[in-house]
C-alpha cells in the first residue's frame, strides 16, 4: 500500500499538469507515492505528458471521456490505494511544506491535517498566504473555510473520506461543499500546520469565469450550510462555536452574493441571526467595523443599488490594475 495518493483532475492543460506532477514528485521524492491523474472531457492534450512519464510506475492515468473535475476526483478517490490522500488541481503545485505535513499526520496518527495555501497569479505577480481559521475545531474550521478552502491544503486518511463523493452537478463552491459533507459525516482527529503546502494559481480567465453569482448557486450553498447545522444538531455534535461558524458562513455568503439574490439572501441573513445572533460575516470590513453587523440587513439593501451601478467600474478597475502591474514588472 502506498503511503500517499494524490488525485489530480485535468482538462486541456498539458503544461500545467506537467508542473503539478513534477511538484509532487519533487516534494515526495522519498515517499511511497501514487499519483492518479484523471483527464476528463474531450481532451487528448494530456497524452504527450503521459508518454513522458510512461516509465514511472508511481503515475497512473485514468481517462474519463465524459464528466467534469468533480467526477474526476470521485474516480480518483475510488481508485486510490494510499493510506493518506490529497487533492491537487492541475494548475496548482505543491511546496516543500507538504512533506512535513505528511510526516505530521503519520507521526500523530491523525485523520486530517490542514495547512495554508500560497496564492499567486498565472504570471507569478504577487504571492501571499492566507492563514487558516483561528480554531482548533475541525468542523468549525471547515465551515469557516467558505473564504479559505481547506481542500487543497489538507491531507486526509483515505478510509475516512472514501465514501464522501464530490457533487458532480454543481458548477461553483464544489470544494467547499465537499468539505461540508466531510464534517457532516463524523468527527475527525485533526491538526494544522502554519507552513504553506500548495500554491493556488489564480487565472484571469478560467478561474475568474467561475465567480458567478446566481440564485441557484446561492440556494445550493445556503441549503448545504443549513443541512450541516441540522445534522450536527441531530447527531448531538453542535456547540456554540459551531453555531457561530455556520451563522458566520451564511452571513459571509449573503454579503458577497447579495446583489444576485437579495430577497432569498435576506431570508438567509435572518436564519443566520436566529442560529447565532452575535455572528458576523467573515469579510475583513466587518472585523474592522463591527457596528456594521448590528444593521446588516439594512446596510445590504442600502448598498444594493450602488453595488449594481459600480459593478462595471469595479471590474474595469481590477483589470486596469492587473495591466499596470504587468507593465511595471
Question: What does the pLDDT look like over 98-122, one tens digit per residue?
Answer: 999 999 999 999 999 999 999 888 7
Distance (Å) of CA 42 to CA 36, 49, 64, 308, 309: 18, 16, 9, 37, 39
Query: Is residue 293 within 8 Å of 282, Cβ to Cβ?
Result: no
- The domain ranges of the chain are 4-210, 215-328
The torsion defined by the Cα of 24, 29, 31 and 37, in degrees rounded to 10, comes to 30
d(CA 198, CA 223): 30
Better-scored residue on pLDDT, 281 or 211: 281
Q: What share of the chain is helix, strand, coil (3-state, %, to 5)?
A: 50, 15, 35
Better-scored residue on pLDDT, 320 or 231: 231
For every residue of 8-74, DSSP letters joined together read: EEESS-HHHHHHHHHHHHHHTTTS-EEEEEEEBSS--TTHHHHHHTTT-TTEEE--BSS--HHHHHH
Secondary structure of residue 194 in the 3-state scheme: coil
Predicted TM-score (pTM) of the model is: 0.89
Q: What is the mean pLDDT of residues 185-193?
A: 97
Residue with grid cell 448590528, as numbered in its chain? 294
Q: What is the mean pLDDT of residues 228-254?
A: 97
Q: What is the mean pLDDT of residues 283-311?
A: 86
User: Mean pLDDT, the chain, as a whole number?
Assistant: 89
Secondary structure of residue 102 in the 3-state scheme: helix
Question: What does the pLDDT look like over 130-174, one tens digit per residue?
Answer: 889 889 999 999 999 865 678 999 999 999 999 999 999 998 899
Distance (Å) of CA 123 to CA 14, 71, 96, 153, 245: 17, 29, 21, 22, 35
Architecture of domain 4-210 in this structure: Alpha-Beta Complex (3.90)
Better-scored residue on pLDDT, 194 or 123: 194
d(CA 308, CA 297): 17
Confidence of residue 326 (pLDDT cuts 50, 70, 90): low
Confidence of residue 202 (pLDDT cuts 50, 70, 90): confident
- Bridge-based pairing of strands 93-94 and 198-202 is antiparallel
Q: What is the mean pLDDT of residues 294-318?
A: 75
Residue 206 has pLDDT above 50, yes or no: no
292-297 own/partner pairs: CB under 8 Å, 24+ apart: 293/251, 296/251, 296/255, 296/269, 297/266, 297/269, 297/270
Give the per-residue pLDDT at 307.
Answer: 82
Give the per-residue pLDDT at 210.
Answer: 43
Residue 42 has pLDDT above 90, yes or no: no
Amino acid at each position: 500500500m502506498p503511503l500517499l495518493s494524490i488525485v489530480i483532475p485535468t482538462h486541456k492543460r498539458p503544461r500545467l499538469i506537467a508542473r503539478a506532477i513534477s511538484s509532487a514528485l519533487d516534494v515526495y521524492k522519498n515517499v511511497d507515492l501514487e499519483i492518479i491523474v484523471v483527464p476528463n472531457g474531450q481532451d487528448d492534450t494530456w497524452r504527450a505528458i503521459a508518454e513522458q512519464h510512461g516509465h514511472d510506475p508511481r503515475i497512473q492515468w485514468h481517462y474519463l471521456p465524459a464528466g467534469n473535475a468533480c467526477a474526476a476526483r470521485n474516480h480518483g478517490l475510488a481508485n486510490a490505494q494510499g493510506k493518506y490522500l490529497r487533492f491537487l488541481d492541475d494548475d496548482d503545485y505543491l511546496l516543500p511544506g507538504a512533506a512535513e505535513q505528511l510526516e505530521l499526520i503519520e507521526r500523530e496518527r491523525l485523520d486530517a491535517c490542514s495547512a495554508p495555501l500560497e496564492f499567486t497569479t498565472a504570471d507569478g505577480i504577487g504571492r501571499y498566504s492566507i492563514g487558516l481559521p483561528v480554531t482548533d475545531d475541525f468542523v468549525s474550521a471547515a465551515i469557516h473555510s467558505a473564504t479559505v478552502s481547506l481542500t487543497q491544503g489538507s491531507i486526509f486518511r483515505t478510509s475516512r473520506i472514501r465514501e464522501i463523493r464530490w457533487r458532480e452537478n454543481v458548477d461553483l463552491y464544489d470544494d467547499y461543499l465537499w468539505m461540508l459533507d466531510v464534517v457532516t459525516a463524523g468527527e475527525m482527529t485533526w491538526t494544522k500546520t502554519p507552513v504553506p503546502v500548495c500554491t493556488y494559481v489564480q487565472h484571469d480567465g478560467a478561474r475568474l469565469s467561475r465567480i458567478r453569482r446566481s440564485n441557484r448557486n446561492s440556494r445550493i450553498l445556503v441549503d448545504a450550510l443549513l443541512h450541516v447545522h441540522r445534522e450536527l444538531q441531530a447527531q448531538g455534535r453542535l456547540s456554540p462555536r459551531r453555531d457561530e461558524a455556520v451563522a458566520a458562513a451564511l452571513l459571509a455568503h449573503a454579503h458577497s452574493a447579495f446583489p444576485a439574490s437579495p430577497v432569498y439572501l435576506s431570508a438567509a441573513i435572518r436564519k443566520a441571526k436566529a442560529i447565532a445572533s452575535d455572528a458576523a460575516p467573515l469579510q475583513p470590513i466587518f472585523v474592522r467595523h463591527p457596528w456594521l453587523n448590528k444593521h446588516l440587513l439594512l446596510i445590504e439593501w442600502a448598498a444594493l443599488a450602488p453595488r449594481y451601478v459600480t459593478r462595471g467600474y469595479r471590474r474595469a478597475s481590477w483589470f486596469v490594475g492587473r495591466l499596470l502591474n504587468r507593465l511595471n514588472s
